[in-house]
Structure 1
Amino acid sequence: MQPRALEEADLAAYAQATLQLLGDARSGNPYADNRVARPVAARTARLADGNFLVAGPTSRARGLRDMNTLVLPSSWPAHAPAHAPAHAPAPRTADRLAAGRLRDSTRRRQVPCAAGRRPL
Structure 2
Amino acid sequence: MPQIQAQGKTIECDRGANLRKVLLDNDVELYNGPAKAFNCHGLGTCGTCTVEVEGEVSEMQGREKARLSLPPHSPTKNRRLACQTKVLGDVKVKKYNKMWGQGDETLWTERG
TM-score, normalising length: structure 1: 0.26
Which protein has the bigger helix share?
A: 1
Which one has the largest radius of gyration?
Answer: 1
Higher strand share: 2
